[in-house]
């Protein structure tokens, strides 16, 4: 089956079961999945029941697609995502993004847990993603182009929408939530980085590092979605952190930051919706 055929089968299955048009789609990262339970849930689908849908195997990543209203705004929320390190190709890993687009979502709100590289960052802080480096992972657009979604050589000069960034900055100020900003770099994982790699990423202009998001953003831009993203800095990156990294630490920090994160996301969704 081609990637397009996989997507079509997946869309047909979901459309036959879900009578809901999301305007904003949200992908929840490690430890941040609780947000999906805070919305007015209308319908849910388990990833494992959706044909061709990649299923996460990582602890801390629930696998559900949730449709409902966030303060009246129709949203689709991915409670958990899959990562390339689970063995999926980048094309497989972005199928959910393309599905969300086909269901009608105009905006993709990306969230993740990430390691902090920028000087002065602290675990538990948030970073507004202003740009990204995806050069260390293969492109999700590799292979035959899906012309129905977008062009062969899509422009990536404004992956993260400037107007959405402005909205989120304002929301953070008004809600008194400190918000750093910077460039997200995606690695293939699953191993955390070495200190030398982190020094390299810093030299290259990266402020936070993670194992998701950049390929999703590329797929979403390819099909014309408007994107915004927030990283929860769950730990300081290797060599900056005084102790070895662990998934437990990442999850714990994200859990702790969750209430503030939920406030930031909820208010941002309302403000973003008002300009759509």
Of the residues 25, 36, 99, 114, which one makes contact with ligand HPA according to CB under 6 A: 114
To the nearest 10°, report the CA torsion of 218, 221, 222, 224: 160
Phi and psi of 116, rounded to 5°? -85, 130
206 in contact with ligand HPA (CB under 6 A): no
CA 138 → CA 95, 232, 261, distances in Å? 15, 24, 30
x/- map, 176-205, ligand HPA, by CB under 6 A = ----------------xx------------
Q: Which stretch binds ligand HPA (CB under 6 A): 91-99, 111-119, 120-128, 257-265?
A: 111-119
Binding to ligand HPA (CB under 6 A) within 246-265 occurs at: 250
Distance CA 133, CA 39 (A): 32
Give the range of 51-59, 108-116, 136-144, 263-271 binding ligand HPA by CB under 6 A: 108-116
Whole-number Å distance between alpha carbons of 207 and 231:
10
Q: Is 56 annotated as catalytic? A: no
- Which one of the spans 7-15, 46-54, 206-214, 268-276 is the region binding ligand HPA (CB under 6 A)? 206-214
Stretch of 11-19, 83-91, 207-215, 219-227 lying at the interface with ligand HPA (CB under 6 A): 207-215
Distance CA 43, CA 268 (A): 23
Per-residue b or e along 43-63, where b marks 16 or more CB atoms closer than 10 Å to that residue's CB: eebebeebebbbebebebbbb
Contact 76, 25 (CB under 8 A): yes
**Which pair of structure tokens corresponds to residue 96?**
């959910």
Which residue number is nearest to ligand HPA in terms of Cβ?
115
Near ligand HPA in 141-180, by CB under 6 A: none
Q: Is 247 considered catalytic here?
A: yes
7 or 232: whose CB is closer to ligand HPA?
232
Binding of residue 209 to ligand HPA (CB under 6 A): yes
83 is catalytic: yes
Which uninterrupted H or E stretch holds 9?
Answer: helix 3-17
Residue 33 is a binding residue for ligand HPA (CB under 6 A)? no
CB of 114 to ligand HPA, least distance (A): 5
User: Residue 121 catalytic?
Assistant: no
State the minimum distance, in angstroms, from the CB of residue 198 to ligand HPA: 8
CB of 243 to ligand HPA, least distance (A): 12
The three-state DSSP-derived secondary structure of 12-53 is HHHHHHCCCCCCEEEEECCCCHHHHHHCEEEEEEEHHHCCCC
Q: Which residues is 229 bridged to in the sheet?
A: 110
Residue numbers of the site for ligand HPA (CB under 6 A)?
Answer: 113-115, 192-193, 209-211, 234-235, 237, 245, 250
Active site residues: 30, 61, 83, 85-86, 113, 211-212, 235, 247
């Amino acid at each position: 089956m081609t990637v397009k055929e996989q997507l079509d089968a997946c869309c047909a299955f979901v459309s036959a079961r879900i009578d809901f048009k999301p305007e904003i789609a949200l992908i929840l990262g490690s430890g941040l999945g609780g947000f999906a339970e805070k919305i007015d849930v209308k319908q849910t689908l388990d990833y494992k029941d959706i044909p061709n849908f990649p299923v996460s195997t990582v602890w801390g990543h629930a696998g559900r697609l949730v449709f409902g209203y966030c303060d009246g705004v129709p949203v689709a929320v991915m409670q958990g995502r899959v990562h390339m390190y689970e063995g999926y190709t980048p094309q497989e890993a972005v199928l959910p993004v393309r599905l969300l687009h086909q269901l009608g979502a105009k905006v993709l709100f990306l969230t993740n847990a990430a390691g902090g590289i920028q000087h002065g960052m602290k675990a538990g802080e948030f970073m507004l993603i202003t740009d990204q480096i995806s050069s260390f992972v293969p492109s999700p657009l590799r292979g035959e182009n899906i012309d129905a979604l977008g062009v062969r050589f899509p422009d990536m000069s404004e992956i993260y929408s400037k107007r959405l960034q402005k909205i989120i900055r304002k929301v953070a100020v008004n809600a008194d939530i400190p918000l750093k900003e910077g460039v997200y770099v995606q690695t293939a994982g699953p191993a955390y980085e070495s200190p030398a790699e982190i020094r390299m990423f810093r030299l290259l202009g990266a402020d936070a590092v993670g194992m998701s998001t950049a390929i999703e953003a590329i797929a979403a831009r390819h099909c014309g979605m408007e994107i915004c993203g927030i990283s929860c800095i769950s730990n300081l990156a290797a060599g900056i952190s005084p102790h070895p990294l662990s998934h437990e630490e990442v999850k714990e920090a994200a859990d702790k930051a969750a209430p503030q994160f939920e406030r930031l996301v909820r208010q941002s969704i309302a403000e973003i919706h008002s300009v759509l």
